Structure 1
Amino acid sequence: MARNTMETSSPLYAVIDLGSNSFHMLITRQLADSVQVVDRIKRKVRLAAGLSADHILSEQAMAKGLECLSFFAERLQDIPKENIRIVATATLRLAKNRADFISKAEQLLAHKVNLLSGIAEAKYIYLGVAHTNCSLDKRLVLDIGGASTEVIVGHDFTVKKAHSLNMGCVTFMQQHFRDGELNADNFSAAIKAAEQAISVIKEDFSAIGWHCVLGGSGTMQAIAEVLNHQKKPPIICLALLYQLQAQILTFSHVDSINIPGLASERSPVIASGLAILIALFQQFGIEKLSLSSGALREGLLYEMLPNSRKVNIRQRTIRAIAERFHVDQSHADSIKQQVLLIFNQLQAHWQLPNDNTLAILLASCDLHEIGLLLEYKYHQQHSAYILGHADLPGFNLSDRQLLIAFVSHYKGDLKPTSLTKQSAVAADLALKFLIIMRLAVILCRRRKDDKLPRYQLVAKGDTLQLSLSALWLKQHALIHDELKQEHRHIARLGFALNITCEQ
């Protein structure tokens, strides 16, 4: 009997990152053009904490790191050697006795460990962002590690400028928050030290400029988790950082930090990481930062995969999910066609931007029926759940929120709560885009392209005038009735849909 398994058709890939704070192992396989995460393993080794003032790595720190790698070694046995990348970063760059550790690590892992320079690490971090974020805008990318902070400006897959600063959340914790003590003086000293380090590169980076700021380090992820616990959008601004600083200073020691949503393992280095992040915001005049879904490990991984730069990351994700959940792609394409027709008719009247919001709406058309694979009755909730928990490279957290809002309400009762909670676009604009999708879905109800009508749609303020053939409406009584129901649905939110018959 022939075997047709993912394992025989798709080999595994592994990336190991020997970071200054944590050791990470990422194991994936490539399915069609998409990447499926098979396993993630993370251990808080805090290698940088074992680095002395004269840059000698302690025996205890090395033993803890090697113990972790012995666990990783077991998992590497079934992965082709050409599909493995193992890298070491800032702490081992600084350690004078790194050769001893790296030699023992290579024996354990039966694979070469590549010591990345600061610039190489920065470039891979940027590529991880480029491979997992859809925006083509010029980006400023920030990454705060345990012993280094990387700053990169780039566009698409091209790095314009990269720099690695010798400061990180673990080393700053040792230097400025000795014995874990928290007070306003040591916090201010940490921010000032970080600003002095950043000031050397500030002018060169500012001269290039950027359109958006992305970050994916543990500090930024921890802050995003606090925001998520508060039911707030995952957008980081300087005012929020000041609030967190004030909140942290209510505690006298890092061990006593207790902020809802903050993981306990993050508490020992949140103050030092936050000090560095505040300095970055202040020095570069950053207004807001969005969380990236990729960084160093993703950069190493995607650069291993064939043709990874040739396939649009968002389309790769959509296609993979659509195939996995057996989406009726012909029907999805019909809805997208109607969405674009309606958008073109309403764009000027409603001042609709042709930007990422439209792209998210079209992605929603592709994915709104993925929940049908489970059952029909609650398929919208199932679709929302799947999209809320799936890996979605190419969609940041704000994109995901808007995608879920559209999918959750593409038909039936309209509840504005999810539209107000998402942070990708203003709620009133999101509602207008959602109305476009809902009308397109109703008009495509028969799921047959040759039965779609010709129509004219005009907006006068918040009132829509839809003109349809009287004969077509007579032949499609169910759709006509659903359009009438849609008038009642959107009327609750201040909109109106009037239907006129053309002879």
Structure 2
Amino acid sequence: MISKNSASSPLYAIIDLGSNSFHMMITRQLADSVQVVDKVKRKVRLAAGLNSDNLLSEEAMARGLECLSFFAERLQDIPTENVRIVATATLRLAQNSQQFINRANKVLGQEVRLISGEQEAELIYLGVAHTSCCQEKRFVIDIGGASTELIVGTALKPTKICSLDIGCVTFNRQYFSDGLLTQANFNQAILAAKEVLSPLIAPYSSIGWQSVLGGSGTMQALAEVLLFQNRPSIISYNFLKEIQQQLIENQSVQHINIAGLTSERTPVIASGLSILIAIFESFAIEQLQLSSGALREGLLYEMLPCNKKVSIRKRTTRSLMHRYHVDEQHAYRVKAQVKSLFQSLSSAWQLDKDNSYELLLTSCDLHEIGLLLEFKHHQKHSAYIIENAELPGFDQADRQLLKAFVKLYKGDIDISLLKQSVTDNQTAGYLLVILRLSIILCRLRKDDVLPHYQSSVDVNNTINLCLPKDWLAEHPLIADELVSEEKHLATLGLSVNIQCNI
């Protein structure tokens, strides 16, 4: 039965009793989207407390219960039906898990649910599906402290799931217990993981996939290293081997020194990396993108009264527009011009209606979100918001292109900002030009201003905008801005001609 205060409370809480860390996430629904208001993470290393008989030590239990006592205080004002608490791999393995769960229930004042490996895999996939925009079949990887989940699915439906009893904490204890980062230790760990993965290669490969995503601690840590180095956060096989070599050169866990790698991840990075290398080699994976969602997000979206018919990106975009009081009519007006110019120019520039095109349309909605802060630097504010806000449905690469569009939609063009991994730099430049011209043409922010006009690109990469001379004379501000755009487009090797006799 739902309590009286649940309807008035927008807060939801998720607690994940993981093998390596305990996590608590507090969220609320805001403008048809989800806003994280608090996150707490504590390194409990529960899996390290399992002995050879799979009995959880009293010391490990004490660490876990102390952490839960901190979480309990935060749950006091959240309705029970808005809370989900789950235990995963280590407590599935522990022979005395019920003893810990009973004590945890008393500390929290709520029920802890022990989920199976298959349930965990399904929830992980749901979390990825609700936070990543992908219509293709995807392969989702999650490496935890004591288990690894592999899932293939499309949209919101997983079609193949598996949970394996291998994880970064248990592998660390088995293959790096001496604290040494030797080639031999890596070889043993990788080979052991491959033996476990071997029976899955044929059934998974027969299904196939178009993209690979992952969101566990190991992959997040590797993505942070890439970002620290100003590289796209796409994890490739070559990058995994590069990190492995650096770790071997560091010689021991105590002496790990890799720029961008946090100290809390160093104890288990070698073991997690070994499992990930084994997965890449077993399934012939070339690269992996980081997902912003996993188990906790899956639990959350399973509980929320969300509209699954609305796409993830549309929910996120709509939420941002509402939050930053965007002029929706003007955004629609700009988008209509973008679609028209794209239709006219796409053939000459060989542009496709792919992900980069979808991001261009999104930039029409979001290019003015920084106006709520101030006008003078609103483009920088818009870029900052896109870089730092929670954006379910947009991965790091998507953010880079979106950020470039909103920061460069008028004024000087910094071509270095167009370097990203969604599309090639030239295509990104062409799309930016379409956005910039559309915004100039919509300068008066009225629906009945623009006349019928023609647009094309000639062999010299000059954009011809065939606007009536009388109309240009009546709208000197727009005409002047189109002329001024010439010097900006020269940065991209383009020019614009508006002197057409119609």
TM over 0.5: yes
Q: How far has the Cα of 1:344 moved from its partner?
A: 0.6
1:221 aligns with 2:228: no
Q: Distance in 2 between matches of 1:219 and 1:63?
A: 26
Over aligned residue pairs, what C-alpha RMSD do you find? 1.1
Q: Distance in 1 between matches of 2:109 and 2:8?
A: 25
Q: Does the 8 A contact of 1:10 with 1:30 survive in 2?
A: no
Q: Distance in 1 between matches of 2:310 and 2:12?
A: 19
Q: How far has the Cα of 1:397 moved from its partner?
A: 0.6
Q: How far has the Cα of 1:160 moved from its partner?
A: 0.4
Q: Does the 8 A contact of 2:17 with 2:87 survive in 1?
A: yes
Task: State the AA in 2 paired with 1:458.
Answer: S
Counterparts of 1:80-159 in structure 2, within 5 Å, are 80-159=79-158
Q: Distance in 2 between matches of 1:130 and 1:435?
A: 32
TM-score w.r.t. the length of structure 2 is 0.97
Task: State the AA in 2 paired with 1:353.
Answer: D
Q: How far has the Cα of 1:501 moved from its partner?
A: 2.4
Q: Distance in 2 between matches of 1:240 and 1:111?
A: 43
Q: Which of these residues, 430, 433, 440, is aligned with residue 431 of structure 2?
A: 433
Counterparts of 1:178-189 in structure 2, within 5 Å, are 178-189=177-188
Q: Which of these residues, 443, 446, 462, is aligned with residue 445 of structure 1?
A: 443
% identical equivalent positions: 60
Q: How far has the Cα of 1:10 moved from its partner?
A: 4.7
Q: Distance in 2 between matches of 1:439 and 1:296?
A: 43
1:209 aligns with 2:208: yes
Q: Distance in 1 between matches of 2:307 and 2:73?
A: 28
Q: Distance in 2 between matches of 1:261 and 1:349?
A: 43
Q: Does the 8 A contact of 2:9 with 2:78 survive in 1?
A: no
Counterpart of 2:458 in structure 1 is 460
Q: Does the 8 A contact of 1:153 with 1:210 survive in 2?
A: yes
Counterpart of 1:337 in structure 2 is 336
Q: Distance in 2 between matches of 1:43 and 1:352?
A: 47
Q: Secondary structure at the match of 2:151?
A: strand
Counterpart of 1:56 in structure 2 is 55
Q: Secondary structure at the match of 1:30?
A: strand
Q: Distance in 1 between matches of 2:15 and 2:305?
A: 19
Provide, for residues 106-129 of structure 1, a one-character-per-residue CA deviation record: whole Å limited to 9, x for no partner. Answer: 111111111110010000000000
Q: Distance in 2 between matches of 1:288 and 1:418?
A: 23
Q: How far has the Cα of 1:9 moved from its partner?
A: 5.2
Q: Distance in 2 between matches of 1:307 and 1:375?
A: 33
Q: Secondary structure at the match of 2:400?
A: helix
Aligned residue pairs total 496
Q: Does the 8 A contact of 2:418 with 2:425 survive in 1?
A: yes
Q: Does the 8 A contact of 2:9 with 2:79 survive in 1?
A: no
Q: Does the 8 A contact of 1:11 with 1:80 survive in 2?
A: no
Q: How far has the Cα of 1:31 moved from its partner?
A: 1.6
Q: How far has the Cα of 1:202 moved from its partner?
A: 1.0
Runs of 4+ in 1 over 6 A off after TM superposition: none
Q: Does the 8 A contact of 1:182 with 1:251 survive in 2?
A: yes
Counterpart of 1:4 in structure 2 is none
Q: Distance in 2 between matches of 1:92 and 1:308?
A: 33
Counterpart of 1:490 in structure 2 is 489
Counterpart of 1:375 in structure 2 is 374
Q: Distance in 1 between matches of 2:458 and 2:278?
A: 48
Q: Does the 8 A contact of 1:143 with 1:151 survive in 2?
A: yes
Q: Does the 8 A contact of 2:182 with 2:251 survive in 1?
A: yes
Q: Does the 8 A contact of 2:31 with 2:322 survive in 1?
A: no
Q: Distance in 2 between matches of 1:46 and 1:414?
A: 49
Counterpart of 2:469 in structure 1 is 470
Provide, for residues 224-282 of structure 1, a one-character-per-residue CA deviation record: whole Å limited to 9, x for no partner. Answer: 00000000000011001010000000112112101000000000000000001111111
Q: Does the 8 A contact of 2:317 with 2:365 survive in 1?
A: yes
Task: State the AA in 1 paired with 2:194.
Answer: E
Q: How far has the Cα of 1:311 moved from its partner?
A: 2.3
Counterpart of 1:258 in structure 2 is 257
Provide, for residues 412-443 of structure 1, a one-character-per-residue CA deviation record: whole Å limited to 9, x for no partner. Answer: 000101101x2211111111111000000000
Counterparts of 1:298-447 in structure 2, within 5 Å, are 298-420=297-419, 422-447=420-445
1:285 aligns with 2:284: yes
Task: State the AA in 2 paired with 1:254.
Answer: V
Gapped regions of structure 2 (runs ≥ 5)? 1-5
Q: Distance in 2 between matches of 1:8 and 1:411?
A: 45
Counterpart of 2:498 in structure 1 is 499
